[in-house]
A and B are shown apart, each in its own frame.
Chain A
């Protein structure tokens, strides 16, 4: 287990290094970020040269790259051009909001997904099942930048239950979390429903019934426990997509998280901030993938991590 984790952490660090290097080189290859950022402000060529020298952009690329890496491993991605603050510090400041949103979306996914899957698999092809599958088809087809505004229209404008934007009101997180959860819920229901139907006709469930176990216990310990496995995989694979979705959802609801920061950084060509955000996103995905593997081993005692 420890050896496995060590190897995985090493692999993740390697991927992170490649991501950081590639994004850095891509930025450098696309042209000089300082000139691009300052030209629109009407600065003279001399002033631009002076700023470039001050910030070290006149050095050879290899020197800049080594310098970038040496600082990046300590979490230092330089100052954001736009905010004039430490780039990674800005990301860290926004992180709690994004984590709160992601956890709320995960809670919504499980709280809606499991009951819906149970209801759908109760009697396959029943009206309930068809309704659930219709809802899921909708959840997969309606993009979050459409669902978000429609939820706002209904639950913030027509029926003013929730605020239109921001984080301050008590239930402000409800609509963004629902929007972000729509797609994962649909995925979870489909996978879980198929898993439950398969587990119901498995031999171990028949054995459990003939032993006279309470039905509730059969459902929770035998049917759901086995159907849960592929669902954990699916939810884990969903993480990168959900973080991408957070960019859109945070923009829709003016939610001050890392996603909307990413969009602002890219819109204003804030190179250092953009680099910090991309590396932070990659790190988040890699960490969650590791956690998913560990959860997998916990949920299924048959899996040994070696």
Chain B
């Protein structure tokens, strides 16, 4: 058969669910974790190590040297081994700035996600379990928040409150909680009527115990998927703030601010001040997304990606 007719029959490559799972188990190592997931874990771990351990051994991130400005990264002509990733317009070492800027990115991503997770779980579980007006109020609050683009909301809040790292963490965390609350609520709604909860209730267990010992563990799977994806999203959000000039104020480096500074010399064909921080962000986000996809496959084999 030729032409589009191929698309009118069941896909030849689509295997049964059992076949898929067997194939996945074969490809994955002994721990059931495929190689690409280990690569993602390694990328994230490397980012953490570089940002925490490397800076004392590198050039000073704020030291300017106009004579050394715009040195290309190492294999290119005119590069300087003292600046392996090159220098920016002011002659500052890009590797050192990346490492220090990553600290803010990772702190914002980790603690911001944590705040969103905690707030989202508490409110989402309460709304789903209690129902009634608690649920109603929560969902209306979510409606209001979702009607304003998250980035605009964050920009607005940061200009009003301040541009220091703790403020950015709290603001991003409080903008992200809705996603977690929705997932938690939906999970609890379907769980509420199931035997394990009904049985606990008829045994006379106190509500907080049912919630913490029986409901919470059952909903952590989907929430961990979301958390993984949100870590990547918050890295992007922090960098976007930096790019727009609303992130951590200079001279402290931010990956986003580095890109916007680099863009000024882009028309001269000088690519490394933009590409270096850009590649770091993209690698981090890609790692977080692939990790999230893998977790999704683990916890929910019938989801969007299950044909893979």
Which B residues are in CB contact (< 8 Å) with A240?
A: 146-150
Please determine whether B151 and A248 come into contact, CB atoms closer than 8 angstroms. yes
Q: Which of B8, B11, B149, B275 contacts A244 (CB 8 A)?
A: B149
Stretch at the interface among B52-60, B77-85, B193-201, B265-273: B265-273
Q: Confirm or deny: B168 has a beta carbon within 8 angstroms of a beta carbon on chain A.
A: no
Please determine whether B286 and A215 come into contact, CB atoms closer than 8 angstroms. no
Stretch at the interface among A43-51, A58-66, A147-155: A147-155
Which B residues are in CB contact (< 8 Å) with A262?
A: 152, 155
Interface string of A62-93 (1 = CB under 8 A from B): 00000000000000000000000000000000
Task: Return B6 CB to nearest CB of chain A, in Å.
Answer: 6
> Of all chain B residues, which has the CB nearest A266?
B159
Interface range on chain B (Cβ under 8 Å from partner): 35 or more
Q: Which of B236, B256, B269 is the most central at the interface, judged by chain A CB atoms within 10 Å of its CB?
A: B236
Given contacts A157-B266, A278-B156, contact A205 B148 (CB under 8 A): no
Given contacts A191-B304, A266-B159, contact A146 B9 (CB under 8 A): no
Which B residues are in CB contact (< 8 Å) with A141?
A: 232, 282-283, 285-286, 289
Given contacts A158-B269, A240-B148, contact A15 B143 (CB under 8 A): yes
Given contacts A197-B11, A247-B155, contact A145 B259 (CB under 8 A): yes
Q: Confirm or deny: B181 has a beta carbon within 8 angstroms of a beta carbon on chain A.
A: no
Please determine whether A194 and B7 come into contact, CB atoms closer than 8 angstroms. no
Task: Return A13 CB to nearest CB of chain B, in Å.
Answer: 11
Please determine whether A121 and B149 come into contact, CB atoms closer than 8 angstroms. no
Given contacts A125-B308, A137-B286, A153-B266, contact A19 B13 (CB under 8 A): no
Task: Return B87 CB to nearest CB of chain A, in Å.
Answer: 18
Q: Confirm or deny: A56 has a beta carbon within 8 angstroms of a beta carbon on chain B.
A: no
With an 8 Å Cβ cutoff, the count of chain A residues facing the other chain is 72
State in angstroms the CA–CA spacing of A206 and B298 once bound together: 31
Interface string of B270-291 (1 = CB under 8 A from A): 0100110110011101100110
Task: Return B133 CB to nearest CB of chain A, in Å.
Answer: 17
Please determine whether B7 and A219 come into contact, CB atoms closer than 8 angstroms. yes
Please determine whether B5 and A215 come into contact, CB atoms closer than 8 angstroms. yes
Please determine whether A145 and B256 come into contact, CB atoms closer than 8 angstroms. yes
A residues sitting closer than 8 Å to B (CB atoms) are 15-16, 18-19, 22-23, 26-27, 30, 118, 121-126, 129, 133, 137-138, 140-143, 145-146, 149-150, 152-153, 156-158, 164, 190-191, 193-194, 196-197, 200-201, 205, 208-209, 215-216, 218-219, 222-223, 240-241, 243-245, 247-248, 251-252, 262-263, 266-267, 269, 274, 277-278, 281-282, 285-286
